[in-house]
Every structure is written in C-alpha cells, then in structure tokens.
Amino acid sequence: MKKAALLSGLAMAAVLLLGSTASERWGFFGHRRINRMAVFTLPPEMIGFFKKNIEFITEHAVDPDKRRYATRHEAVRHYIDIDHWGEYPFPEVPRDWTQALMKFTEVGILTATGDTLRLQRDTVKEQVFINLGYRDVQLAAPYATAYQDFFKQYILPQYYEENWVVDCDAIGALFGLEPESLDCSSAYAVDHFSEYGIVPYHLLQMQYRLTEAFRKRDPGRILRLSAEMGHYIGDAHVPLHTTENYNGQLTNQVGIHAFWESRLPELFADRDYDFFVGRAEYIDDPQNFFWDAVLASHQLLDSVLTIERELSEIYPEDKQYCYEERLGRTIRTQCREFAAAYHQRMSGMVEARMRASVHTIGSSWYTAWVDAGQPPLPAFSEYEPTVAEKEELEELERQAQGGEAKGRGHDNE
C-alpha cells in the first residue's frame, strides 16, 4: 500500500485497514484484504454498521472456500471455464442462467427395450424433437416458450439433486402425445454446463439474496452474504478463474494460480498497492456488470501465462523456487526475485484487479442496500451471532479442517 495514501490524514484508520498479516492463512490473504478495504467505499448511511463489523467481514471472506469441504456444489461457484465454450466474447453462452443451463442440459428417455432416445434441439429452426426410430416427434407448441416452461417445471427444481429424473408423460405431453403413449420406461436429464463453472450466474443470485437480506433488515444475514459476495467477486476478477487452464496444467505451468493469486499479493500488496478506490457506485444492470468483470479478467489471461513462461525460460529453476518458513512449516514457493520480476512485467495487473474487486464489492453492497429501499442500519453496535449461527460457522470450520475438498480444490487451481 502506498504510504502516502495511507498516512495522509488516515492514521487512525490504518490499524483497521491493515489488520494482522503475520497470522494470515496461506492463500486467504487477498480475499480478506479486499473485503476489508471494500468497507471504506461505502456511504455514511452504511459505513458505520460495516466498520463496526469489519472483523467479521474480513474473517468470513474465506467461508466460501471452507464450504468446498461441505458440498460438491460449492466449487463451481468460484470460476467459469469460459474458453471451453468458444472464443471471446463467447456468444454461445447465454448470459441468463436458465437459458444457459437449458441449452447444455441433455434430456432423454429409456425405452422398454433399453434404447436411449435423446431430445434434440435445433436452435436455428427453433424446434425440439425426438427420433422414435420410425419418425420424428416435434414439439407441439412454440419452441421458445413451451420447452422453457417444461424445463423450469420439471428439471430446474432438481438442480441440487444427485440425479435428475423426468416424468415420461411430461415429455410426451410436451410433444402433444397422450399419456402412456410414448415408449418410455424412464426419463432423465443431465447437466453438461455447471461442471465448467457458474460464477457470473452465482454472483447475480447472491446479489438478489443480499438485497432481500437488507429488505428484511436481518443484520446477521447481511454480514454473512456481504462477506461471501466479496469472495465470489474477488474470484471473478482473477484471470485464472476464467479458463480450463486454471493452474497452467495445459501449458506446463503448474502452480501459476497460487503464484498470481496468493504469492504476489502477499509480497507486494502492503508495500506497493493503493486500495483507496473512491466511493461505491450504483450498478444499473448487475447481470451485465458481473459478466463484464469476468470477460475483463479473461482478456488478461494471455499475459498472465505468456509472461510467466518467458521468465521461466530466463531464470534457472533454483532461482525460481525457494524455501520459506510459513506457519511452522517449510514450504516451497516462488523466490522473491523471480516473483518481483513477474510482478513488474505485468505492469500493475494484480493491483488493478484487486482494486477493481474492492470497488465492485462495495458497489454490490451499496446496490443491494439501495434496491432494498435504503433501510437504516444499526451503526453503533457490533453484531453478535445467534447460537444457531455460531453452530453453523463452527460446523463449517470443522468440515474445512478435517475433510476433503469436493470438486476443484485450491491445490488443483
């Protein structure tokens, strides 16, 4: 952090802003720092409540990572492998969640003889049909509304279920067939989209939840959702959260994810970065706003990978990796000189993405508060979690300490 920016009239805020870095857990530094700084973007009507609870906002910035150990549905909320779906600006990926999931979900039936028949979608002619072997049965009603209504009613509610099942007669009715007239012993749906990440869609869902928490004036939920919203926004600003090559594993650059996301901020953030980004702003169109953040991150990906590769060819391996003591353990990590060279070659990219994260988080919180009707917040009281909330947080911590991450974990990023 630039000393001039920090010390000029802000001496009293310095302790709140910086906190203690010596005890930060490896890899969590950036999320905590970004959340902490986002508090200072808020208007007077909000900042009293958030400053009083800044330690909660800071500490619980990492709860979504802990939840990876509790549910298989968590990991995909942190990234989107957008390059799996084509090339920038990725027109094949609908920005609407239901449309995206519907487009890439396979729906099919198993016949009495064990054959599998899949619903086929022709997006050019806007029709859905099943080939019954002797003829195609086409959707009886207009494609755009009938299939979406079917999807919303029978498939979307099962999103968090292990297996998606569909009623045979519901499929038959979609095609104008009488009950039990379709040769169908069972029907199914399979999600081929979520495994590649859903972060921009989850951000919009979180925005709705946070707005509702403000509307209900629920301080505990406001704090929990604000802290977690900050985490997901931070992830959306990391270029390596937007690609199948998320850890350089496809280009022989394994370990680049933690290098960019953790090592560089821990070495340079306090010394060099200016996190004072101005006032939070109202977000007119959250869906497009969050998508723009993801796409901006992705456009930096080539530089992230190319610069590291070029430096790796210049520096011998014993100058790239060194051993340091961290939290009572000896760890192998990028040498400070090598990290400094990478940091310098990227010309402030990491700082810029962290600054953008800070401003976006503050703007998200502010927008939710405005959309909820600008309810008054308890400015002078620190929130005390309920017994149930404490138990939930303790259970989350136990799962994170003793379990195994489900889905794509940090070690694989």
DSSP for residue 163? S
Superfamily name with CATH number, domain 3-88+205-412 = P1 Nuclease (1.10.575.10)
CA dihedral 297, 302, 308, 309 (to 10 degrees): 160
Residues 153 and 107 sit within 8 Å (Cβ to Cβ): no
86-94 long-range Cβ contacts below 8 angstroms, 24+ apart: 88/295, 88/298, 88/299, 89/295, 90/295
Q: Would you list the domain boundaries of the chain? A: 3-88+205-412, 105-191
For residues 69 and 66, what is the distance between their CA atoms, to the nearest angstrom? 6
Residue type at position 237:
H
At 27 the pLDDT is 53
Q: Residue 256: which residues within 8 A CB-CB, separation 6 or more? A: 240, 247, 248, 304, 305, 308
Cβ count within 10 A of residue 72: 12
SS (H, E, C) 237-269: CCHHHCCCCCCCCCCCCCCHHHHHHHHHHHHHH
pLDDT digits (tens, 9 = 90+) for 151-163: 999 999 999 999 9
For residues 271 and 260, what is the distance between their CA atoms, to the nearest angstrom? 17
DSSP for residue 60? G
At 151 the pLDDT is 96
Quote the pTM value: 0.90
For residues 369 and 365, what is the distance between their CA atoms, to the nearest angstrom? 6
At 399 the pLDDT is 86
For residues 169 and 218, what is the distance between their CA atoms, to the nearest angstrom? 43
What SS3 class is residue 72? coil
Helix or strand holding residue 191 (H, E): strand 186-191
Q: Residue 98: which residues within 8 A CB-CB, separation 6 or more? A: 148, 151, 152, 156
- Which ranges of the chain have pLDDT less than 70? 1-27, 409-413
Residues 41 and 278 sit within 8 Å (Cβ to Cβ): yes
Give φ, ψ of 206 to 5 degrees.
-65, -35
At 398 the pLDDT is 86
For residues 293 and 239, what is the distance between their CA atoms, to the nearest angstrom? 10
Tokens standing for residue 58: 């800071």
